[in-house]
Amino acid sequence: MTAGEAMTAPAPAAGDDEPWRVRHLPTLLVTSAVVIVVGAVVGGLTQGGAGAVGAAVGVALPSASFTLSTVVLAWADKQNPRLVLPFGVGLYVMKYSLLAAAMILIGTSEWPGLVPFGWGVAAGIVAWTGVHIWWLVRVWPRWRDRTIDRRTAVE
């Protein structure tokens, strides 16, 4: 086997449902949108306009980060499962370097939306993680079982 052959992903089987890699994404994006709106309202009521922006951006930041990870890793897995680790590690280093820089810049400022921003980041992480766990426990097994039943019926 040559190096080129080793990096080539096997062709998907007929009827293979490739979108499973991002099937959870719509649920998580709707959750993020709801938490962004709630965060903006709470931030606005407690700290005014700067609080509303801070909370909304705070929720949007981890939501965008998790979405980027999902899309990039799904793409890498579709190309070749061996790409998941290098892309995952590279993405992790890039995202957390940018996040650290943003947090340092925002943390050293006198911006009045700083506290709502921090709470928004926390709320975004908790909401995304919680709904993702719910999806994996409640929705994924039912979807997976239906998919397996359809594939078995075709064979």
Q: What is the pLDDT of residues 90-113, one digit of tens each?
A: 999 999 899 889 888 888 888 899
Share of the chain above pLDDT 90, in %: 57
For residue 152, name the pLDDT band (cuts at 50, 70, 90): low
Residue 75 lies in a domain: yes
**Is residue 154 scored above 60 in pLDDT?**
no
**Is residue 148 scored above 90 in pLDDT?**
no
Structural domains of the chain, count: 1
pLDDT given at position 9: 41
103 burial via Cβ count (<10 Å: 0-12, 13-18, 19+): middle
Question: For the chain, what is the largest distance between any 2 Cα atoms, rounded to a whole number of angstroms?
Answer: 64
Report the pLDDT averaged over residues 69-86. Answer: 92
The whole-angstrom separation of Cα 52 and Cα 46 is: 8
Residue 108 lies in a domain: yes
Residue 124's nearest CA partner among 25, 21, 34, 23 is 34
**Is residue 54 scored above 60 in pLDDT?**
yes
Q: Give the sign of the dihedral formed by CA 137, CA 96, CA 123, CA 71.
A: negative
Residue 52 lies in a domain: yes
Residue 86 lies in a domain: yes
Residue indicated by tokens 């009521």: 45
**Is residue 7 scored above 80 in pLDDT?**
no
The whole-angstrom separation of Cα 65 and Cα 32 is: 12
Residue 34 lies in a domain: no
**Is residue 36 scored above 60 in pLDDT?**
yes
Residue 27 lies in a domain: no
Residue 8 lies in a domain: no
Task: Tell which wins on pLDDT, 146 or 73.
Answer: 73
Task: Tell which wins on pLDDT, 13 or 119.
Answer: 119
The whole-angstrom separation of Cα 135 and Cα 23 is: 10
Residue 2 lies in a domain: no
The whole-angstrom separation of Cα 97 and Cα 91 is: 10
| Full residue range of the structural domain in which residue 142 is found | 42-150
| List of residues 6+ apart from 106 with CB closer than 8 A | 114, 117
Residue indicated by tokens 């719910």: 134
